[in-house]
Structure 1
Amino acid sequence: MAALSGSSSECCTLKKALNRLISNTSSSPRTRTRSEPLYVISLERYGRDADFALRFPDSVSMSESLFDATITDGDCKIRVSLDPAVNRLISVNMLHCGSVIRHVELSRGEDSASFHVCSLEVDRVSGGDAALRALSSVSVRAIPWMGAEPSAGPLRARRSSYLPLWNNHDFCGEMWRDTAPSEPDAEDSEEEIDEISLNSRNPAAQITIIPKNQISPDWVLPDLPHSFICGQELPSCPQGHIGDVIGVVIFVGRPERVRRKDGQRSEIEEYRWLQLADRTSDKPIMIKLFSTSQPDIQSRIYPMALLVCTRLKLIRSAVDRATTFEYLTNTSLTQVYCTGTGSHPVMPYRGIRPIRQFLHWLKQVDESSLLERAVIGGYFGYPPLPVSLPNFMENRRGEAGLISGGEMKLECEKLIYREKRQFAIQCVITAACYHHREDSGRTQYSDLPSAPLSPRVRRQREGSEPHRTPVKRKLFSSTSPRKRLAPPLQPLATEDDAERDFSLFDGAMEFLVGEQEDDSNDEDEDEDFSTPPSSPMTSRLGLTRVANETLPRVFCYERRHVQAVAVGLQVNNFHKLLPQRELESFSPASCYTGYFTLTMRALSDGVMLDVVFLPAAPGNLHWMPLPLSHNNSWESILSHGGFSPHAPPPSPADLIATANQLTNQRLLCVLDACALGGEKMELVLNRAFPLR
């Protein structure tokens, strides 16, 4: 085969590598690029076919998918298939559109005209925006192909089109076209019609409206095509009720993924939380919308849009016997209409009474008040968990029980991009830090879990300002826990500092090195609360700073399309790619005032967990506290997930001053874990129940 020709320069990295490959006459030729960077400008997925096991016998259990990529060096580009061995890098979003790759090993395809990537190295040192910077002066679409332009279909399987990158349900791409519905059969079109005439007079017809609860099943009445329910009616609807809703979107959550098990198989489903406001209730209508229903619309739902969802199923969750929460989710018949998406033009429910009433309210509503509540993205946990340990454990019947720190670390390493999972683990809190909104709302987080430190070395927080003297407090001391701890405030810390950045640093020497109490009466008690010794090699999991993806953002109507991409899942084409810090250009929502970071130690094996805690507070319409009063102690706040709704919340300074409540306190912690991409693992504390 002749060497490849084209308009690319002679120093083109791809051209030189492929010419070496073509000139290699061995039975299975391969070549590897050197340290020159290559850039991934598209990534496309498709399902494997029946020949997969023959082509990749060592990768049968790795993935159900195959991937093609377009790579460039800036002078030319080529589309290649990727070996299933690199699928894991894609599934955790370490290899993605915009990645810089080096030392790429290439081989010839089966038809001798295509090329296959056997292995590669992702350059994580150059930064996430290296490809954007390197290709900023060229038109990526105008970069010439190396050789002939490839076909539009997949390279390694007998498939006619590609799938979405992150779900299996959105088949509305460029390769798909709408087709007219088929003509109904003559037998199906001949339906029996009964005509009923109602006299207006001589004699006048009498019409009686029968309430729903008086309709007998023996009448076998057909189901109504639409049954709209409002927010006020949701609490009185039975579990599993099927209904329709209409409202103004005031919250669109970030897309997340969850693993659903169906028999022997497990499939990843994409979903996002929505909140709708209607005229009837101060509480928003909660919807957990999966991508199984019109995912092309789901990705384009913005706050302040008018949304109609039909045939939703009501799910009810109980916090205690008297407190329940409801949300709606998809059924197989759910349809979605959202203004601004240009879809679903036929609305047969337009003229029915609930719709007319809602539209009448919409004309009179104060739009600015709704805009103030409009939020997009960020962590959102719903429905609320029970506030007592017995109720929580009862609700977990059939689910995995408590796990050790090492087991949790292994399970988190299995999570794929944006997959969310909940864990229950026994811990003690060894350190805490409060970060005020002004210090951390838009700034750094740690890209990697911080390195474990010796228990005798004070921990340096990443991103801390060198000129600030934080307020420090030991959560535990080497003295008896019954002794009063020293006041937390230091003379060098100003009052402003105390409100902005509170820190509780490691100080539990008897926990870390296994020292015994001097008081013999406390010996048994100390054994119960002891944890394994720590060492500089102790495993660690989580982030020491809140991730940008964790914070909810103020909705920006003027930049709503950019904001939706910034909040959404990783894109698969270079022309959609945004800088990694684009999300930071949108201000955190007013519901976010700050956060706690808690350092926890697993009781089972000493694994350290860096956890974010976002307590719900009175007046917060996004993270609303439970309607249950408590005394705002640390124990109550952690078990309720936030502050009491019937009392002013304590200031962070007050909480730090009472941190001795956590001394030697064993906790059963419920953690929400979400893989944010690469090695970023978000851990958010949902509940922490004291163990007696």
Structure 2
Amino acid sequence: MAVDGCVFHRILSRSRSGSGPSQAPALCREPLLVLQLRRYSRDQGSSVYFPQSVLSGEYLYDVTLTDRDCRLRVTLDPGLNQLVERRVLRAGSTLTQASFCPTFSAQNTGCPASTRDVSYRLVNMVVREDDEDDEDAGFGMLDIDSLPWFGSSEPADVPLRASRSVFLPLWNNVDYSGDAWREADLRRGQRPAVSVSELRDYFLSGRRGGARGQLIVRIMNKSQLMYYGRADRNCDCPYKAVLEVCDRTGSASVVLWNSMCVSWYRCLKPGDIIGLRQYRVKQQYLGEAGDIEISVNSRNPAAHLSLLSESQVLQEYTPPEPPYSFCSSQELLDRPHGTTCDVIGLLTFAGRSERVRSRDGKGAELLEYRWLQLEDDSSPQPMTVKLFSTSQPETHRRLLPLSVVVCTRLKLIRSDHSGSYLTNTTFTQVYCTGLDQHSRMSYRRLARVRLFLRWLRSQDDGQVLSRALIGGFFIHAPPTSLEAFMKERKGELGFLRGAELERELQSLHFRERRSFFVQAAVTMVTYSRRGAEDRCMFWMDRSSSSSSSSPRAPLSSPLLYLSPTPPSVRLPPSSPSSSSPSSVVGLSTPRRSGGSRKWSKRKLMQAETPRKRLPWATPEPEHNKTVILFQASMEFLENPEEEEEEQEDEDVSSFNTAPLPPAFQPVAMETLPMQFDHTHREEQAAVVTMEGGATTRSFNSAPEDYYTLRLRALSDGVQVDVVFLPHSSSSSGSSLQGHSNTWTSILSHGAFSSHGPPPSPADLIAMAAQLTNQRLVCVLEACHLGGARTELVLTRAFHLTD
């Protein structure tokens, strides 16, 4: 490391002599690159390291930075946590004006202060925007592994400000993270010295010090990892996992605790045979009388676990194979709510990763999930799965269309109003092609699986690709009436004012999904195609749009949205002829009208094209001269000395023009599902996962056109733009129902009727006057997309009658 050129050496060496809270931060004016972000839960001693910060959250973040010459790992001040939670600060970000304060590491609390390692916390900085054209952005192609660490030695791969031995994944508490979670070695085992039934008998007889010989069992089911770390408790590795096991005499639960999870969780799977020694036997937690739990810990006593092959166990002691209960999509139609089953299918839709709070209230854990759709040989209706994390991060990243997926121990959720779908249980496991998983599982020999494989070989790649989608907004069939919706929500809708909605949107974390309810009226409807937003058709409630000379800007955060669309729609050459007296329908070009309504000079002057407005939405080039001449003629109305205003009103009374096309944010790439591109599947997968990788490639969307509705909250008049995609789709769930295709029925179903062709965009814009002065109960789905982008999706709007 060149000391003279090292930014960290010049800036931080002066601050290493002290670490008091009153010491002035060291300011680094040179750009720094973020290499890695690591998350962990704080413990009882964490507050010591942040004397001037309020520790309002459960988690802390360590950040690895480089100045091109060396690497430095620091802790992010808790006051800046929101930058990570909203994905403003991420790996690859460039920082400027970074300020550092020295402090001691939490991992050496038993050492004298003079010998403790000094580390740093990042107390302030500016995150450079991604699109800034700067040669320092990204620091070019750095060989990260060759960069030395600032200081005397490489820091230990443990959290800096809490006594924890492992880091948490960045976006959930279920998966494992880091090299500490290793594959255990295959160890030689012996014949069992005790059986499950003998252990149970010893325990129930009260002979707690009895049978402790080697137990040989097969894993029937494996739970997800359970993280129980808390800020008010100290535990260096607060994990546990449950294995349901059995031998020829009975079944029991094996609980792996703490560091035993780190050593063994990754390499154990259902179907494996394990040998156990030095364990403890307890009454199973929340179990019935006689149910035992075998506790496997690294201390008190230190348990021994070995992974055995089939050939290492004598045949008479070989435990039975794990049972499976596969259901086809047709069989699921008749199964009752709560049924537990296994499924196999061809993945044709893989949704984006999102997160939802596990319970109401701030500080609650965020659970990561994805929507999947699987097809099989028994029914044209796909199986829909809401798949939460199963502590299998490598498998979840491989969930791409055209994969064969097996999900075990799923639970059927059935509703009278919303159809049915499958979701996780504690013991759900997922297996996917591309990772050599299916060949190692015993289910491959089952008749149901073999029948599916025969059907799979008869499918055509091109036909499956034509309907395969990845990413995009997805919702599973909300109810289609307000009464049913309130019944499903138990009557608690929790209506928000417009200003309250704005505050709630600002509090969302990255990819956090929440539902909101607002009473509103529609004041504008716009039809657009992705990438061609300057060529739009629109309807606007004139009484609303002209009620104020300077209306409050729509609440835009800044992407706001509802469900997928038709293959193609041709823009009509002229605007629809039918419009109500209180509304305006337009393509964007000015038009003459014989209407009797007069526009004053002031109103005409407001119609001039403002700066940064979207251009007129006219597809025909021959109309361009009309637009240019019209704009030129507007200059004749801008004479401030004109005094004959009454005469001017009469002169222009027969000249009417459509208002300017509304300015709105285009639909986000993450909102519309992409047609699956097998050649660029890795790039598409990176876009839809929690990492949210950027891409410069343009993928085809399905659909490409969408509607934007402007809602005005009835409570306080705040306006919000939402995108509405009412075309029949798997995500709307209502396309199987018939209705009249009026605006009221389309909004309440979230989709067009399946009984006939959908209305054209021109017809919908012409019918939009039906929405004038209608009071609606709007169901909104919000999802934070990172940085300053928030998606708001209108999923249902119910007409509110007196």
Structure 2 CA distance for partners of 1:667 and 1:349, relative to 1, 3 Å: same
1:435 Cα offset (Å): 1.2
Q: How big is each residue's C-alpha offset from its partner over 1:407-445, in whole Å with a ceiling of 9 and x where there is no partner?
A: 22222222111000111110111222211145259xxxx
Comparing 485-494 with 280-289, greater Cα deviation is found at 485-494
AA partner of residue 425 (structure 2): T
1:373 Cα offset (Å): 1.4
> Secondary structure, in 3 states, of the residue corresponding to 1:550?
coil
In structure 1, C-alpha distance between the alignment counterparts of 2:578 and 2:718, rounded to whole Å = 18
Cα contact 2:356–2:512 (8 A) shared by 1: yes
Structure 2 CA distance for partners of 1:491 and 1:25, relative to 1, 3 Å: closer
Comparing 387-396 with 664-673, greater Cα deviation is found at 387-396
Match for residue 512 of structure 2?
Answer: 419
Match for residue 180 of structure 2?
Answer: 175
Match for residue 153 of structure 1?
Answer: 158
Cα contact 1:388–1:639 (8 A) shared by 2: yes
2:483 to 390, 400, 415: 390
Does residue 13 of structure 1 match 2:7? Answer: yes
Task: Using CA pairs under 8 Å that are at least 6 residues apart, name the structure with larger relative contact order, 1 or 2.
Answer: 1
Does residue 651 of structure 1 match 2:651? Answer: no
Cα contact 1:96–1:570 (8 A) shared by 2: no
1:97 Cα offset (Å): 1.1
Does residue 116 of structure 1 match 2:134? Answer: no
In structure 1, C-alpha distance between the alignment counterparts of 2:249 and 2:765, rounded to whole Å = 74
Ranges in structure 2 where 5+ consecutive residues have no aligned partner: 106-115, 197-215, 217-246, 251-319, 535-544, 560-570, 592-615, 622-662
Q: How big is each residue's C-alpha offset from its partner over 1:218-274, in whole Å with a ceiling of 9 and x where there is no partner?
A: xxxx99821111111212110001111000111111000000128997321000001
Q: How big is each residue's C-alpha offset from its partner over 1:176-225, in whole Å with a ceiling of 9 and x where there is no partner?
A: 113369986612257459xxxxxxxxxxxxxxxxxxxxxxxxxxxx9982
Structure 2 CA distance for partners of 1:664 and 1:408, relative to 1, 3 Å: same
> Secondary structure, in 3 states, of the residue corresponding to 2:125?
strand
Structure 2 CA distance for partners of 1:388 and 1:146, relative to 1, 3 Å: same
TM-score (normalizing by structure 1) = 0.76
1:246 to 331, 344, 349: 344
Cα contact 1:99–1:122 (8 A) shared by 2: no
Structure 2 CA distance for partners of 1:340 and 1:172, relative to 1, 3 Å: farther
TM-score (normalizing by structure 2) = 0.66
Comparing 169-178 with 246-255, greater Cα deviation is found at 169-178
1:132 Cα offset (Å): 8.3
AA partner of residue 588 (structure 1): N
Match for residue 79 of structure 1?
Answer: 73
2:39 to 45, 50, 62: 45
Match for residue 604 of structure 1?
Answer: 715
In structure 1, C-alpha distance between the alignment counterparts of 2:24 and 2:346, rounded to whole Å = 57
Cα contact 2:167–2:177 (8 A) shared by 1: no
Ranges in structure 1 where 5+ consecutive residues have no aligned partner: 1-5, 194-221, 442-451, 499-541, 572-577
Match for residue 329 of structure 1?
Answer: 423
In structure 2, C-alpha distance between the alignment counterparts of 1:405 and 1:564, rounded to whole Å = 35
Match for residue 145 of structure 2?
Answer: 141
Match for residue 406 of structure 1?
Answer: 499
AA partner of residue 676 (structure 2): F
Match for residue 291 of structure 1?
Answer: 389
1:621 Cα offset (Å): 5.0
Does residue 226 of structure 1 match 2:324? Answer: yes
AA partner of residue 420 (structure 1): R
Does residue 186 of structure 1 match 2:191? Answer: no
> Secondary structure, in 3 states, of the residue corresponding to 1:658?
helix
Alignment of structure 1 residues 515-664 onto 2, 5 Å: 544-570=665-691, 578=693, 580=694, 582=695, 585-589=697-701, 591-617=702-728, 620=729, 625-664=734-773
Q: Percent identity?
A: 42
Q: Flag the structure with larger Rg.
A: 2
Comparing 664-673 with 630-639, greater Cα deviation is found at 630-639
Cα contact 1:309–1:337 (8 A) shared by 2: yes
In structure 2, C-alpha distance between the alignment counterparts of 1:487 and 1:157, rounded to whole Å = 62
Match for residue 523 of structure 1?
Answer: none
> Secondary structure, in 3 states, of the residue corresponding to 2:367?
strand
Match for residue 474 of structure 2?
Answer: 380
Aligned residues: 579
1:270 to 368, 372, 380: 368
1:400 Cα offset (Å): 4.5
Structure 2 CA distance for partners of 1:419 and 1:686, relative to 1, 3 Å: same
In structure 2, C-alpha distance between the alignment counterparts of 1:497 and 1:685, rounded to whole Å = 32
Cα contact 2:21–2:51 (8 A) shared by 1: no
> Secondary structure, in 3 states, of the residue corresponding to 2:443?
coil
Cα contact 1:293–1:330 (8 A) shared by 2: no
Cα contact 2:576–2:763 (8 A) shared by 1: no
1:638 Cα offset (Å): 0.9
Cα contact 2:390–2:430 (8 A) shared by 1: no
In structure 2, C-alpha distance between the alignment counterparts of 1:414 and 1:239, rounded to whole Å = 35
AA partner of residue 19 (structure 1): S
Does residue 67 of structure 1 match 2:61? Answer: yes
> Secondary structure, in 3 states, of the residue corresponding to 2:777?
strand
AA partner of residue 408 (structure 1): L
Cα contact 2:103–2:121 (8 A) shared by 1: no
Cα contact 2:71–2:150 (8 A) shared by 1: yes
In structure 2, C-alpha distance between the alignment counterparts of 1:64 and 1:381, rounded to whole Å = 30
Structure 2 CA distance for partners of 1:426 and 1:626, relative to 1, 3 Å: same
Cα contact 1:551–1:588 (8 A) shared by 2: no
Structure 2 CA distance for partners of 1:110 and 1:592, relative to 1, 3 Å: same
Match for residue 25 of structure 2?
Answer: 31
Cα contact 1:286–1:328 (8 A) shared by 2: yes
